[in-house]
Amino acid sequence: MQGVERSIVTIDLGAIRRNAETLRHVAGDAELWAVVKADGYGHGSREVSGAALAGGASALAVATLAEALPLRTAFPDARLLVMGPVEDVAAAREARLELVAVGVEVPEGLPVHLKLDTGMGRWGLSELPAPSRDVVGVMSHLASAEADPEFTQVQIERFREATATLAGLSRHLANSAGTLRFPEARLDAVRCGIALYGISPFGGDPAADRLEPALRWESYLALVKRLRPGESTGYGRRFVARRETWIGIVPVGYADGFRRDLTGTRVVVEGTPTLVVGTVSMDALAVELERPLPTGTAVTLVGDGVTIEDHARVAETIGYEIATGIVTAQGRARRVVRNG
């Protein structure tokens, strides 16, 4: 890798397919709809979509028209749902998409899902209108299924009561956390995003829900140097050596998606968990080494026991943000896809 790529992101489509199979099994009689917005949560929407469909997903869901159109070309027969607002309804109609009515105006001439706001306080109708002939589904979104079971139950009951008399329409409410923890929320279909990628919606070990991480991120030591006592590395001199210390410089920084607030997290260097020290720069980070190592030594940023959830805890954020923040364009990380 040295001298060729700054870092490599490897996506295991076999893991995506197996996660889809797991979620399909958990969903019971409900269909699995794979959420592949934001370029498949940073994993590649086209490749992920194919793996999810192979794993039993019966529909794909995205946030925008721009995300949907390339998928329509790649999967001409797939059921495709756009969950966010769409201004160009004619283009959506031509592409045979399904849309969500998130406000008082209901699109015409193509399949529509009415969205009821049961407590998310975002997109959605306060009351469901009488469905027109174009309406094929009714949906809502859980606000805190990963952390607040009481409020989640309130939302489930609100949705079930509001849709109890709507025979013949697909009812879908559960996200990944709802699918995994609330059987009563599964209804006719579940919309799973983060769990599809093997990232826990609960911030813990994905293996607890039989999920496999699909993303691996690797780089290398571009420079190894010795710091004498009192010498520092990085902006702001946040790391000052108290004793003679070896550090390694990895050519990945916050412009690549390795966030500035990940100082203090661990990566794996030559099989050893290693602390990230000093300020993460735009294009580089530093790790503290036990001994001098040759340049070119492999560094695993995600994988080999280091999880996206681990980094999220250090950054005080969620796995979604870590995964979608990895930059695979403009000469940053190169994404490689394999079928495991």
Phi, psi of 101 (to 5 degrees): -85, 105
How many degrees, rounded to 5, is the angle at CA 150 between CA 144 and CA 155?
65
Spatial distance between the Cα atoms of 239 and 249, rounded to a whole number of angstroms:
13
Per DSSP, the residues of 34-93 read: EE-HHHHHTT-HHHHHHHHHHTT--EEEESSHHHHHHHHHH-TTS-EEE-S--S-HHHHH
Strand partners, 192: 34
Q: Which of 225, 235, 254, 320 is catalytic?
A: 235
How many degrees, rounded to 5, is the angle at CA 327 between CA 325 and CA 329?
150
Q: Which of 37, 41, 197, 320 is catalytic?
A: 37
Spatial distance between the Cα atoms of 233 and 287, rounded to a whole number of angstroms:
10
Spatial distance between the Cα atoms of 55 and 100, rounded to a whole number of angstroms:
25
The three-class DSSP label of residue 230 is: coil
Contact 198, 213 (CB under 8 A): yes
Q: Burial of 141 by CB count in 10 Å (0-12 exposed, 13-18 middle, 19+ buried)?
A: buried
Phi-psi region of 182 (alpha: psi -120 to 50; beta: other; left: phi over 0): beta
Would residue 37 show up in a list of annotated catalytic residues for this protein? Answer: yes
Our CA dihedral for 37, 42, 44, 48, rounded to 10 degrees, sits at: -70
β-strands 59-62, 31-35 pairing: parallel
- The residues assigned a catalytic role are 37, 235
